[in-house]
Structure 1
């Protein structure tokens, strides 16, 4: 789940003499108007959930309203965060093809992406207000509040997105380009509307038109994934069915507000917090002192550090951003090729997709009803298997490296760095123990990590920059809003697919494949690798999880085992060039040109693919430590 670089600014810079000053002032004012509340919402969620833990576990007096209030505020956090992400241009999108186009084509596609997003927002804005009116008569059970207070988050967030989209188009000051783009969209819309009689006769072939062709058109032209999904679902419902489009708004609400997904922003915040408090630096420093003197030692450190940090943050962007700045300078100084660095960083990103508290694990649990705790336990060993496969490649590539200039740290220095790192190294175990022992749920446990990190940062490492706290809160809301909006629109798509009867057809097809479970597993691996490179993990899981997991269960495949295989396969696709967007995010974080890592990453991807086959062939690797 990564946002690629936006198009070059010079291609869209407003022409001189145009009224861009007032636009900037309005944009800044609205930015503060929305960013301050969303930062406070992140803090409020942490306080509410941690208070619930203390009241229940410490004082044995549960707060019956805590989950209800957290859920109410969560939808506001998701929608306002998505609006801030829209303002910053940080919604997830694939730009592999856009970046290869000419400057003029990039400018057109940039306007096209904004226009498609604007059209979708305007189309669902009215139904979202209708949903508020419908929910106004319903009250919450514990607090007695009207549900309109909660549902109002949808039209509010959509309204802000509308304003920001209009500001971006006005800011371009290229009315000819904007006019051509809007005219093209009107033509496409009218053409689809004129084909309505044909759609009525095509049946489920419409799914190929709307959920394959139309989505692909949006994704490959750089339209943010959430809006590509949303416009396709809206077009399908309005042009091929008699269902009211308010259904789409309801499914978006349902998909974005599932309480278990509240772990997404909280773990993102935790990942950024451990970087700010210096905990990540201490962990990596200890590992570097321990293994830095052996051939490929820092590469082993990179693999181990990504495994440890992934067990804390749950967000790949946060993982890589915490590790690369610490290790890359030293590795480059020792002569490691920067292409090799970025290749290994990307491969470890794919390797650690199942390390709890992975956002994909949380998502797959929420949409398939698989136990989050079981997924957390089952994800540790499969990732370790892939880590061993990466270590074998590192050993082979570094077996002849000259280590004459490398100084081995004394045992005293290693022990000293271990003592310093112990409070940071303890965090993954604190989080896991809290879940396993029942102290906190998978949603709440991140707040324990947040409080723990704050205490360690202030009292132990004396590294807690209050000035960085506000930007971290905003970054948390932005990334979370972008992720949750994808989940919301993808939930609408998944519901439409289910209602169309596609799931039954897919189940019949997959069940009829020769070879039973073996063939189904092989086809699933290929499918998730392909979709992982195009759609990224979370939207692919939301779309296919509810469809494929029941089939796997019918064929006798354990749901946790199947989840591990699916997630690892998507991870390979996500970080595999030339289409895997995670690879380009790793290049951006490591500040390395993408072309330099394509050749060295092949060996790493092959090794973790072999590891994936081992995980698929040996269910015990995923289920061996689960309670029977």
Structure 2
């Protein structure tokens, strides 16, 4: 799986394409500017709430409400930017193997499929926003239509982005054929309503397995694959008004807790830009660089520390690889081994707060965010120790004759330089635990802290990079939140169908009791991590499986750690896991080079996961009460 990518972009050769490029440029500038501006406003609003409440003891009652209104607009405008830039997550394994002509046609069909959903949902989205105008918000005392209007406006703007994208990258013949194929499929499903009426619960397999799989493997972005399947199921097999689906979409994208997603994404980019990541890694390298496999241990430790700051694994890896890899290659490390270890550490550190997946689990299951943050530290240590054992074995005969040992004085100097960066994860966690800020607000403390450290201490703050970072934040946040919204609607459809009852019955009857339930959960979420990635899998199955886990006697924090680590292994396991290809991309290493090295690291991760699953104390030992 990967982010959908642009077809080979060349200078337009016909007037229609040239016009589309010009219109898209202006349209993109406006959308990106709006998205970037909302990210900045969100940071200012939330941080002002923290300052007013904690420093001035004069809480601002309207900050959360305004942040919530802006968040839905950020999610929808970010989704527009992501669609225009080709940043929506999609399975590209089949596309990448296809011939150029076939690939271009499939990409055109994927855009047409997304366009079909947007066209179908536009009227229900308008109806939903119209109904919301009667609801008045308690603090600002404005109509909720100001917030809900983001959905129809966002859908309309995504239609514009999709149409411009079609004419930018596809020929008129490809566009006509793709629209015809899409229209024929939609009409065929609509005409087959008598068949769906006879199938009963088998419709779940047709729509939520068949349609989702067909769309995903055809290259349709994950969010739109979920949306098409859910819309089709509700519209063709139930009496549910489509405005209800829009409501569930809104519900999924409106958890204020998830506002932490874009803010931590931006924080991840900020620590790389200010030089904080480089300082941290430099200190760790001075400590361990002279031992066999030392820089590999530094890589594992650096990913542990960086993951305590950034919410994006790609951002984590992008901060570390350019700093460590050149020196590691000088010492004879194979590029394939480096990218395999980098990928494995991505899976290892999934539970380290403030992980986006932890925040998502808390938002959709009701598990305490503070408990998840506390419980996530030690499981990552256990998996890290397992990875270190593989590093030790593979580097036991390394030649260290040309490696410099840093004197204590220089190590001390590097420690002082790195100290502000090293303190950041502890500042973030302490702010949540001590009640200074919520899990959403704490990201703004990290942002202000990092900006000041970059400006005052490290003297590195490239103002020219600020706008691209904000745009990237808006785009990635929009792509993620649209998946969350569509997956929430899909999960609601599954629940209303009685699927949750059937699933509960199946899981309750698994032999082996608590351990049998954990074993089947590990297998299921490794597969889901490969196919769906963490956030959509959690949104879809978290509300269904966590109550079953509690009934089976599994502590909810323990279960969360097992689920997250299982998904992480799937996410970073080739040949399907997108995380592996992300590691290859930031490392500039061909994916085939890492395949022969990654098996040992994945085996170590599985061993660590089994230890975490078998010993609940690893996840719950430090919880209060």
* Bin of the TM-score, shorter chain as denominator length: over 0.9
| Structure 2 unpaired stretches of 5+ | none
User: Corresponding residue for 2:370?
Assistant: 373
Aligned residue among 577, 580, 584 for 1:583: 580
Say yes or no: does 1:115 pair with 2:112: yes
Pairing of 1:252-291 with structure 2 (within 5 A): 252-291=249-288
User: Corresponding residue for 1:32?
Assistant: 29
Say yes or no: does 1:309 pair with 2:306: yes
Superposed displacement of residue 178, structure 1:
1.8
Superposed displacement of residue 8, structure 1:
4.5
Superposed displacement of residue 200, structure 1:
1.4
SS of residue in 1 equivalent to 2:200: helix
Q: Call closer, same or farther: CA 1:564–1:547 in 2, change over 3 Å.
A: same
Aligned mates of 2:123, 2:289 — CA distance in 1: 60
Structure-1-length-normalised TM-score: 0.98
SS of residue in 1 equivalent to 2:438: coil
Superposed displacement of residue 61, structure 1:
1.2
Compare 260-269 and 189-198 and name the one that shifted more.
189-198
Superposed displacement of residue 414, structure 1:
1.0
Aligned residue among 69, 73, 76 for 1:72: 69
Aligned mates of 1:231, 1:29 — CA distance in 2: 30
Pairing of 1:428-577 with structure 2 (within 5 A): 428-577=425-574
User: Corresponding residue for 2:223?
Assistant: 226
User: Corresponding residue for 2:5?
Assistant: 6
Superposed displacement of residue 518, structure 1:
1.1
CA RMSD between the two structures: 1.1
Aligned mates of 1:35, 1:257 — CA distance in 2: 21
Superposed displacement of residue 198, structure 1:
1.7
Superposed displacement of residue 169, structure 1:
1.4
Aligned residue among 163, 170, 173 for 1:166: 163
User: Corresponding residue for 2:92?
Assistant: 95
SS of residue in 2 equivalent to 1:524: helix
User: Corresponding residue for 2:403?
Assistant: 406
Superposed displacement of residue 136, structure 1:
1.0
Superposed displacement of residue 173, structure 1:
4.8
Superposed displacement of residue 16, structure 1:
2.3
User: Corresponding residue for 1:235?
Assistant: 232
Aligned residue among 72, 80, 83 for 2:80: 83
Q: Is the 8 A contact 2:283 2:411 kept in 1?
A: yes
| Structure 1 unpaired stretches of 5+ | none
User: Corresponding residue for 2:597?
Assistant: 600
Q: Deviations over 1:173-229 (max 9, x none)?
A: 512222222211122122212221121122211111111111011111111100000
Aligned mates of 1:213, 1:586 — CA distance in 2: 30
Q: Is the 8 A contact 1:14 1:20 kept in 2?
A: no
Aligned mates of 1:168, 1:52 — CA distance in 2: 40
Say yes or no: does 1:355 pair with 2:357: no
Aligned mates of 1:396, 1:223 — CA distance in 2: 43
Superposed displacement of residue 5, structure 1:
6.0
User: Corresponding residue for 2:41?
Assistant: 44
Q: Call closer, same or farther: CA 1:165–1:7 in 2, change over 3 Å.
A: closer
Aligned residue among 136, 149, 153 for 1:156: 153
SS of residue in 2 equivalent to 1:97: helix
Say yes or no: does 1:297 pair with 2:274: no
Q: Deviations over 1:210-266 (max 9, x none)?
A: 111110111111111000001110000011101011111111111001100011011
SS of residue in 1 equivalent to 2:154: helix
Superposed displacement of residue 31, structure 1:
1.2
Superposed displacement of residue 22, structure 1:
2.2
Aligned mates of 2:595, 2:191 — CA distance in 1: 45
Aligned residue among 391, 395, 408 for 1:394: 391
Aligned mates of 1:587, 1:111 — CA distance in 2: 27
User: Corresponding residue for 2:329?
Assistant: 332
Structure-2-length-normalised TM-score: 0.99
Q: Is the 8 A contact 1:7 1:99 kept in 2?
A: no
Aligned residue among 603, 611, 622 for 2:608: 611
Q: Is the 8 A contact 1:353 1:383 kept in 2?
A: yes
Superposed displacement of residue 130, structure 1:
0.8
Q: Call closer, same or farther: CA 1:64–1:121 in 2, change over 3 Å.
A: same
Superposed displacement of residue 7, structure 1:
5.5
Q: Is the 8 A contact 1:196 1:239 kept in 2?
A: yes
Compare 182-191 and 16-25 and name the one that shifted more.
16-25
Aligned mates of 1:97, 1:287 — CA distance in 2: 41
Aligned mates of 2:512, 2:473 — CA distance in 1: 45
Aligned mates of 1:240, 1:7 — CA distance in 2: 36
Q: Is the 8 A contact 1:328 1:341 kept in 2?
A: yes
Q: Is the 8 A contact 1:4 1:584 kept in 2?
A: no
Compare 176-185 and 219-228 and name the one that shifted more.
176-185
Aligned mates of 1:465, 1:14 — CA distance in 2: 31
Aligned mates of 2:8, 2:306 — CA distance in 1: 34
Q: Deviations over 1:74-133 (max 9, x none)?
A: 101111011101110001111112111111221111101111111111111111111111
Aligned mates of 1:235, 1:428 — CA distance in 2: 44
Q: Is the 8 A contact 1:308 1:428 kept in 2?
A: yes
Aligned residue among 134, 137, 156 for 1:140: 137
Aligned mates of 1:280, 1:159 — CA distance in 2: 40
Aligned mates of 2:7, 2:335 — CA distance in 1: 24
SS of residue in 2 equivalent to 1:9: coil
